[in-house]
Structure 1
Amino acid sequence: MPERVTLKDVAARAGVSYQTVSKVINGNGSVSPETEAQIWKAIEELGYRVNVTARGLRKSATGLIGYTWAPNPPDRGNPILDQFLTSVVGAAEAHGYHLMLFPHPPVIEQVDVYKQLMRSGRVDGFIVASTNYDDPRIRLLIDEAFPFAAFGRSNPEWDFPFVDVDGCAGIRMATEHLIEQGHRAIALLAWPDHSRVGADRMEGYYAAMQQAGLDVDPAWVHRSESSFQAGYTAVQRWLQLSAERRPTAVVALDDTLAIGAMRAAMDAGLRVGPDFGVTGFDDAPGVQYLSPPLTSLRQPLQQVAQRLVAMLIERIHGREPEPKQVILPPRLIVRASSVRGER
């Protein structure tokens, strides 16, 4: 059996005292960023692991849940994730836990932050949000068998506890609603192909169009990052198509794209609702006060948070949550932006 790596081994590799290593691992004291990076590098190279069992004999669990997320797009806040965060705080406190927020660098760097928090014993578990395909955070936590629960799915073959909102069913509802309003040429404002959530939502659009026997012109599908300008430019271009190819409505994968679409239609002299239908997703704060108010899909964020925290508490106590994976439906909130009225 190989000898167990000790704190002194890490200190020797990093060129510091073992007291300094101990302080960094336990989050006490203050060292320079360079020294801390050097210590964590030594820990990684030597494969040092905190003796969690021994620590448990000396002190109780932290009562802290780690939470990080990356704003998308990175230059502005995300009101939906903010609402989710508020719900998680309330749900966690109801169980006697508190949330520990930590920086949200690019995902690859987040992995290093997760490693540090796990090995220092500063948190009892994690809630992971803004998940994607091949998510390195989820892969790490699965491999380390560390307690976590995720808001969102990742690779289908990965087995882990999550709660997600059924974006496919939501966009299908929105598309069917526009079809019921008499639209036959319906465009889609989508996200880039690397987005798992975007791919899930897109499926709902194609399913609804196929079920209604409606063909999708490839020119009607625009993929981009979420922004007002992207929605505006895409609709501007669509309205320049010939009359037989021009969409009369658009389904957007988020409210920001939908607002850009509304503005482009109005600038072209169209009435949003009667002449050009628009739906969004998220029901972000304030969309009900637009003119016209925006039809959107509302996510059950409070229910998501409550389920996630309950799952995580089970994992922290060494039990498997039941059920382990939950998918909740969104709710279509119909407003004037998608209603044709008398025609």
Structure 2
Amino acid sequence: MSRSTPRNETMSIARLARHLGLSEGTISRALNNYPDIAEKTRERVQKAARELGYRPSSSARRLARGVIETIGFVLPTCRTQHSDPFLAEILNGLATELALHDWDLLVSAVPDGQNEVDVIDRLVGSCKVGGFVIARTRRHDARVDYLRQSGVPFVVQGRTDDPSDYSWLDIDNEQAFIDAVSYLRRLGHVKIACLSGDPTMNFAWQRRSGYLHAMAQQGGHIGVGYLIDGITDAVSAKDATNRLLSITENDRPTALLCVTDAVAIGAMQAINGAGLGVGRDISVMGFDGLPIGQAVHPALTTLHQDSYEIGREAGRMVLGLCTDPSSLPKQTLWQAKLTPRASVNPPGTSPAQHNQGG
């Protein structure tokens, strides 16, 4: 006969066993659907567990199923401003998706004197995580090389030069910058400069490639000094933009395509500081779709990628790999959405005139 158990008492396997008058081993095996437990007993145990609010701990599930229900995310060693808002949104989406499935997210920083592979290796060796999500991939990425050999499930936000044999979710960065140049050319811009990022980072290299391809195909003009690599934050963007502004007025670009929104905002600060008008003298376009782009003046035209949803999808993908190790790699390519705002206008047109004309 079942014994009464106070509902405000934390339910455990031991208390559930006392409540049903069964052994703890029988309770555990019934909850985990072992075939040696009679169906009637299994249904009785699982019904009581639902009614009394029993929830297995993650450690108990790990022991029962052999699955470590924690996903690791090692923060990239790059600490520049361009990465932080994007990564924060990804982590938010990833943590949300994992929490919906009662999985945990372990975020680990890289201590001084170590690299990301050292930290990943330590987490793998300690059996603290069942899988990984990594972000901000390099064209040749040691983290991906390590995880390929580790046997641990992983999903990459981004890609490397050779993305054929692992699961990844990425934005079509090259096509996005082709679309950006096409948009600027339709507005009448010919002299279009580009503040590009770290060329060892694959997303920056792809965007740079899209700019060069589109300018060559669409008759754009890349003047001396128009393409500047290694621009990773607002500070370096201000310095690079000031160099562009020092070009004689006849040769100065009329539009500036920036690798990220943070870089674009730094460029806008330099343009305003020089007494010129963003969207009037020089149009500026960013990439990421960060909320701050709507708060600056004029509002920033951007190529929008939903970093929160990227995090959610990465969570779904890594959960699928962890729960079904036999599944094949899943590779997903999303398109960025061009979001026009007041920072981009036809050459020589004020934002107000362009808005009235549109």
Code of the aligned partner of 2:271: A
Pairwise CA RMSD of aligned residues? 2.5
> Where does residue 255 of structure 2 map in the other structure?
249
**DSSP 3-state at the match of 1:163:** strand
* Distance change in 2, residues 1:156/1:60 (3 Å): closer
User: Given the alignment, which residue of 291, 295, 301 partners 1:289?
Assistant: 295
* Distance change in 2, residues 1:185/1:106 (3 Å): farther
**8 Å contact kept, 1:163–1:304:** yes
1:300 maps onto 2:337 in alignment? no
**8 Å contact kept, 1:108–1:136:** no
**8 Å contact kept, 1:73–1:226:** no
1:279-307 residue CA offsets vs partner (Å, 9 max, x unmatched): 01112232211111111122122332233
Q: Partners in 2 of 1:93 and 1:167 — Cα distance? A: 30
> Where does residue 229 of structure 1 map in the other structure?
235
> Where does residue 152 of structure 2 map in the other structure?
146
**8 Å contact kept, 1:69–1:130:** no
Measured after TM superposition, the shift of residue 157 of structure 1 is: 5.7
Aligned-pair identity (%): 29
User: Given the alignment, which residue of 171, 174, 179 partners 1:168?
Assistant: 174
Measured after TM superposition, the shift of residue 247 of structure 1 is: 0.6
How many residues are matched? Answer: 289
Q: Structure 1: which 4+ aligned runs deviate by more than 6 Å?
A: 55-59
Measured after TM superposition, the shift of residue 235 of structure 1 is: 2.1
**8 Å contact kept, 1:311–1:321:** no
Q: Partners in 2 of 1:139 and 1:269 — Cα distance? A: 49
Structure 2's unaligned 5+ residue stretches are: 1-60
1:180 maps onto 2:186 in alignment? yes
1:268 maps onto 2:270 in alignment? no
Structure 1's unaligned 5+ residue stretches are: 1-54
**8 Å contact kept, 1:171–1:253:** no
User: Given the alignment, which residue of 196, 203, 206 partners 1:200?
Assistant: 206
1:145-174 residue CA offsets vs partner (Å, 9 max, x unmatched): 211111111131651101011111222222
Measured after TM superposition, the shift of residue 58 of structure 1 is: 6.6
* Distance change in 2, residues 1:176/1:270 (3 Å): same
* Distance change in 2, residues 1:157/1:84 (3 Å): closer
**DSSP 3-state at the match of 2:204:** helix
* Distance change in 2, residues 1:71/1:331 (3 Å): farther
> Where does residue 317 of structure 1 map in the other structure?
323
* Distance change in 2, residues 1:77/1:56 (3 Å): closer
**DSSP 3-state at the match of 2:120:** helix
What TM-score results when the alignment is normalised by the length of structure 2? 0.74
Greater mean deviation of Cα atoms: 60-69 or 82-91: 60-69
1:317-343 residue CA offsets vs partner (Å, 9 max, x unmatched): 344556611111111111100124548
Code of the aligned partner of 2:222: V
Q: Partners in 1 of 2:307 and 2:193 — Cα distance? A: 28
What TM-score results when the alignment is normalised by the length of structure 1? 0.77
* Distance change in 2, residues 1:76/1:253 (3 Å): closer
> Where does residue 265 of structure 2 map in the other structure?
259
1:330 maps onto 2:336 in alignment? yes
**8 Å contact kept, 2:153–2:325:** no
* Distance change in 2, residues 1:148/1:174 (3 Å): same
